[in-house]
Amino acid sequence: MRGPSDLTYLLTRAERLLARRLADILVAEDCTPDAWRVVQVLADGKGHFMTELSDLAFLPPGSLTRLVDQLVEDNLVYRRGDDVDRRRIRVHLAARGRRLHDRVAERFRERIDGLDIDEGLAPLLDEMITALDGTSVVRR
C-alpha cells in the first residue's frame, strides 16, 4: 500500500519526466523553463500583478522582474496599468508570446499524447491543490 510519502515521490518523478520532454522543445524555441512558466501563466489572458505572477511562476520577485524585463525586450509580454488602480501594473502576454505559447503547448501535447491529462490527471491534481492551498490552477 502506498502512503503520503510515496505521493511526493511520484509527483516529483512525474514532474521531472515531463520536464525532460519539455526541455528540448524550449531549447528549440530559445526559451528557458522560467520564461515558459511566466508565458504559461499569462496565457490565461487575464494579465497578472507581479506579486501574483511571482507566486504562480515559482520565481522570487527580483528574478521575476529581471525576467519580465527581458520578455518585454523580446516582445513576448508587455506591462499595462491596472484598470482599477493605475498605480499597479499588470503583465500581459503579447501576440508574439501567444504564438510561442501555442507552438510549445502543441508540441508538448504531441509529446505526451496518450496520457489522460485533460480528462483524468489534471482535474485530480487541481482538486488536490485546491484542498491543500485553496486555489485552483486548471484553466477551464
Q: What is the mean pLDDT of residues 27-52?
A: 97
Please check whether residue 109 lies inside any domain of the structure: yes
Please check whether residue 4 lies inside any domain of the structure: no
CA distances from 103 to 16, 29, 74 (A): 21, 9, 17
Model pLDDT, residue 1: 45
From the list 19, 27, 42, the residue with the least C-alpha distance to 96 is 42
Please check whether residue 5 lies inside any domain of the structure: no
- Return the amino acid letter for 132: L
Please check whether residue 48 lies inside any domain of the structure: yes
Q: What is the mean pLDDT of residues 19-23?
A: 94
Per the structure, how many domains does the chain have? 1
Give the range among 26-35, 100-109, 119-128, 129-138 with minimum mean pLDDT.
129-138
Q: What pTM value is reported for the model?
A: 0.84
Q: What is the CATH number of the domain that holds 100?
A: 1.10.10.10
Q: Is the pLDDT of residue 82 over 90?
A: no
Please check whether residue 83 lies inside any domain of the structure: yes
The backbone torsions φ and ψ at residue 116, rounded to the nearest 5 degrees and listed phi first, read -85, 70
Q: Within its chain, how far is the Cα of 59 from the centroid?
A: 11
Tell me which residue has cell 508538448.
108
Q: What is the mean pLDDT of residues 73-99?
A: 95
Please check whether residue 119 lies inside any domain of the structure: yes
DSSP letter string over 82-97?
-SS-TTSEEEEE-HHH
Please check whether residue 17 lies inside any domain of the structure: no
Please, what is the end-to-end C-alpha distance for the chain in angstroms?
33
> Residue 90 is part of which domain span?
23-133
From the list 33, 119, 84, 107, the residue with the least C-alpha distance to 41 is 33
Give the containing element (helix H, strand E) for 57.
Answer: none
Please check whether residue 15 lies inside any domain of the structure: no
